[in-house]
Amino acid sequence: MIRSVAVLGAGVMGAQIAAHVANAGVPAVLLDVTSEAAAEGLKRARALKPDPFFTPDTWKLITTASFDQGMARLADADWIIEAIVERLDVKQALLARVDQARRPGSIVSSNTSGIPIHALAEGRSDDFRRHWLGTHFFNPPRYLHLLEIIPTAETSRAVIDSVTSFADHHLGKGVVIAKDSPNFIGNHLALAGVVPLLSLVAAGEYTIEEIDAMTGPAIGRPKSATFRTLDLAGVDILVHVIRNLNERLPDENARARFVLPAFVDQMLAKGLIGEKAGQGFYKRVKGSDGESEILTLDHETMEYRPRKSVKLPSLDSASAIADTGERIKTLFNGSDRVGRFLRSTLAPALVYAAQVTPDIAFSPDDVDRVMRWGFGWELGPFETADAIGIERVIEAAREVDGDLLASGVPPIWRPALESNRTGPDKAGHDVRLRDGEVPPAAADLQILRAAKERSKVVKKNPGASLVDLGDGVLAVEFHSKMNAIGGDTIQMLQAGVREAERNFAALVVGNEAVHFSAGANLMLVLLEAQEENWDELDLMVRTFQQTTMALRYAGVPVIVAPAGLTLGGGCEIALHADRVQIAGETYLGLVEVGVGLIPAGGGTKEMVARAAEQMLPGASDLLPPVQRAFETIGFAKTSASGPDAIRIGYLRPVDAVTMNRDRLLSDAKTRALERVREGYTAPVRRTAIPVGGEGVAATLKLGVHLAWRAGRISDHDKLIGRKLATIMTGGNLPHAAMVSEQHLLDLEREAFLSLLTEPKTRERIQHTLKTGKPLRN
């Protein structure tokens, strides 16, 4: 059991690793050469964006010290992580000191990205070597799912299992066991694909802008594509890793793949190393109009020039193909500039991955997981080859570089190719290594996907499905665009409650998409408002309120499992669960004020009721808890994480956090069954919720007025704030009183509909739909 962690090295990675350990609720000690360097490392981490910490107070779980002061504290650490400078001799010297200070049985690992793990442990004690391994986190550690674990021949199986379990359950990592090879799996394969792209730029065959257009979302890669990613990672890091591969790979032909064009060394010499220097392949400057402008490096002159527009029509037409594999295949086989580029670069990279996989990984599945989890690829190398067709990939690679296949087809593909020889497709272009995507890494991960693959869909419409998760638990899965909540979603939520009450023991509401729900279908709301279909809008809001109340008072426990964006109506669904099982990376909030509205799916009502429940026994002043709830809604506060949603007050202490997104629904199912065993009964409907009346309303409205007078909010913000204050104090009541939930729901609905009549609310909605950003008007 790992209950305490020490991190050696307070640099960018070390401090962020300590931060994420703290996110898991585990105390960490962060050491560096001096106590000042350690404290400064923690200070830098606290200032980083995106924030490495889940909540504003998480950093308090970290203490700092110098190596000299803190070495004795290593005896208390269950896991010691080395994350200092990438030099073998310096690391070995520090690890010798660790060997003397640690207690027998404690785990020691290195975050090195490329130094041989076995070499670092040379000369260490037997117990040290049995408890020694590599743990390669990806930057930033909080946000990137991947952790490569690299054992040596001497590492105890129990140590591997212990670190794997802790990383999975407590740090939320997707763990891949890698072989102790140069730069392990991820960096090796990622940079094998990057070097040829740099060479194409050096040869003047493609511009930086063109390559980024062809290597981003078009082929299922992040928006940062190639060169923006290199700027973020650091050109200096790129050079270091490439040189390491060139020096350490055992095969001469493989080493030849890792030679950088001369202009990259020139970039390094001139300090053009990327984001941390403010300039790399791209540079952001202020234009003559004061607006920010991004320039591109001219690799010949080493000067920056305006970005060039990219005219590649096939990319535009392929963007309409939703399936990533089909889109890649279409682009790959095109006869245009994009097709030629992909056949000359992607095909050899896929063949190389197939060739080296036996040397760096234990399975093709692991390779695909590494590239998905560590680099944000939608499809890993083997999934991509399957999408195109293995023989088509081989054919294209052979046309580019015949020597690449001098030793024949990579052995990892041969069984699939041989088995296809007797099939109907003699050409073999559609030969695949596996059917479908890479499978889940364990049986209790991605259980919704597994249930659907077992044909356990009970009912379905375009917006949502009912899926039997087994063991008496039914799930409602959203699958509209951004999982926006419309009529189909509401219909299936209602059907889910009815079906669960009839034939199941519990209900889970969740999905395995990136985002739980971006909220209500604003386009539909706007269109109805523009047509002045007020009766239809009234019915829509009433129906959503009835649905959230049905979840709240269902005859079976309802567990809502949010992750990613959980905004507006998505947040309101979570607020009405019996219990919430929230992913660590969840950004949850009632954000309706940003589009000129107020929460009307029961969200405002629920925040009022919870504010009253927060009052201490014997207390009579409603203002403090109501004011906190008022500010939460009025400022459209959104949580920075799952634990932050509890801190803000959207969730309760009985709700729980799952660190690993892939096991969220498994944990939700477990929690649902626990509630069944605990003897769940539906809660009694609330008919007497304390509200403050005019006395509390006057204070809230005074705050709104003062903010308006100070210029901090607009006229329209003032209108919204006053309406919100009226709802949260029970309506126009002359004094404190008790009201029912339905009374608050009616107030919500009336305010929502009245705000939709306001032109400025419609302007906000239109702006958000167009830009994805709020409008201050």
Q: How far apart are CA 164 and CA 147, in angstroms?
A: 9
Mean pLDDT of the residues in the chain: 95
Q: How far apart are CA 495 and CA 550, in angstroms?
A: 10
Q: How far apart are CA 162 and CA 3, in angstroms?
A: 12
Check: CB of residue 362 under 8 Å from CB of residue 181: no
Per-residue pLDDT at 402:
82
Three-state secondary structure along 529-549? Answer: HHCCCHHHHHHHHHHHHHHHH
Give the CA dihedral 515, 521, 523, 527, nearest 10 degrees: 180
Q: Which residues pair with 476 in a beta bridge?
A: 466, 509
Mean pLDDT across 541-563: 98
Question: pLDDT digit string (tens) for 299-329?
Answer: 999 999 999 999 999 999 999 999 999 999 9
| 289: pLDDT strictly greater than 80 | no
- The single-letter code of the amino acid at 281 is F
Where is 488: in which H helix or E strand?
A: helix 487-503
Check: CB of residue 150 under 8 Å from CB of residue 172: no
Q: How far apart are CA 278 and CA 449, in angstroms?
A: 42
Per-residue pLDDT at 421:
54
DSSP state letters, 112-142 = -SSS-HHHHTTT--HHHHHTEEEEEE-SSTT
| 422: pLDDT strictly greater than 50 | no
Q: How far apart are CA 294 and CA 679, in angstroms?
A: 60
| 427: pLDDT strictly greater than 60 | no
| 292: pLDDT strictly greater than 90 | no
Q: Where are the beta strands (DSSP E) in 471-626?
A: 473-478, 506-510, 558-561, 564-567, 579-583, 586-589
Mean pLDDT across 683-697: 96
Per-residue pLDDT at 425:
46
DSSP 95: H
DSSP 146: E
Per-residue pLDDT at 429:
63
- The single-letter code of the amino acid at 195 is V
Q: What is the SS3 assignment for 433?
A: coil
- Say which residue, 1 or 223, is predicted with more confidence: 223
Per-residue pLDDT at 426:
46
Q: How is residue 348 written in tokens?
A: 């050899």
Per-residue pLDDT at 251:
86
Instruction: Give the distance between the most distant pair of CA atoms in the chain.
Output: 88
Distance between alpha carbon 105 and the CA centroid of its chain, in Å?
34
Where is 666: in which H helix or E strand?
A: helix 664-677
Q: How far apart are CA 163 and CA 109, in angstroms?
A: 10
Q: What is the dihedral sign for C-alpha 699, 703, 709, 715?
A: negative
| 253: pLDDT strictly greater than 90 | no
Q: How far apart are CA 522 and CA 766, in angstroms?
A: 9
Question: pLDDT digit string (tens) for 151-168?
Answer: 999 999 999 999 999 999
Rounded to 5°, the CA angle 708-712-718 comes to: 40
Mean pLDDT across 136-165: 97
Where is 656: in which H helix or E strand?
A: strand 656-658
Check: CB of residue 106 under 8 Å from CB of residue 80: yes
Distance between alpha carbon 608 and the CA centroid of its chain, in Å?
31
Mean pLDDT across 71-91: 97
Taking each helix axis as running N to C, give the angle between helix 759-771 and helix 741-756, from 0 to 180 degrees, rounded to the nearest 10: 80
Question: pLDDT digit string (tens) for 651-662?
Answer: 999 999 999 999
| 423: pLDDT strictly greater than 60 | no
Q: How is residue 447 written in tokens?
A: 């259980």
Mean pLDDT across 410-436: 74
Q: How far apart are CA 86 and CA 92, in angstroms?
A: 11
pTM here is: 0.94
Per-residue pLDDT at 666:
98
Find tokens 């050096």 and name the residue.
Answer: 202
Helices (H), ranges, 155-269 = 157-169, 186-202, 208-214, 227-233, 235-248, 252-256, 262-269
DSSP state letters, 229-256 = HHHHH-HHHHHHHHHHHHHH-S-HHHHH
Q: How far apart are CA 138 and CA 516, in angstroms?
A: 25
Q: How far apart are CA 51 and CA 19, in angstroms?
A: 10
Phi-psi region of 728 (alpha: psi -120 to 50; beta: other; left: phi over 0): alpha
Spatial neighbors of 169 by CB under 8 A, at least 6 apart, are 659, 660, 663
Residues present in the chain in total:
777
Mean pLDDT across 276-303: 91
Q: What is the SS3 assignment for 28?
A: strand
Q: How far apart are CA 480 and CA 494, in angstroms?
A: 17
Confidence label for 116 from pLDDT (cuts 50, 70 and 90): very high
| 189: pLDDT strictly greater than 80 | yes
Q: How far apart are CA 483 and CA 421, in angstroms?
A: 43
| pLDDT > 70 in the chain, percent | 99
| 735: pLDDT strictly greater than 70 | yes
Cβ burial of 679 (10 Å; 0-12, 13-18, 19+) is: exposed
Mean pLDDT across 128-140: 97
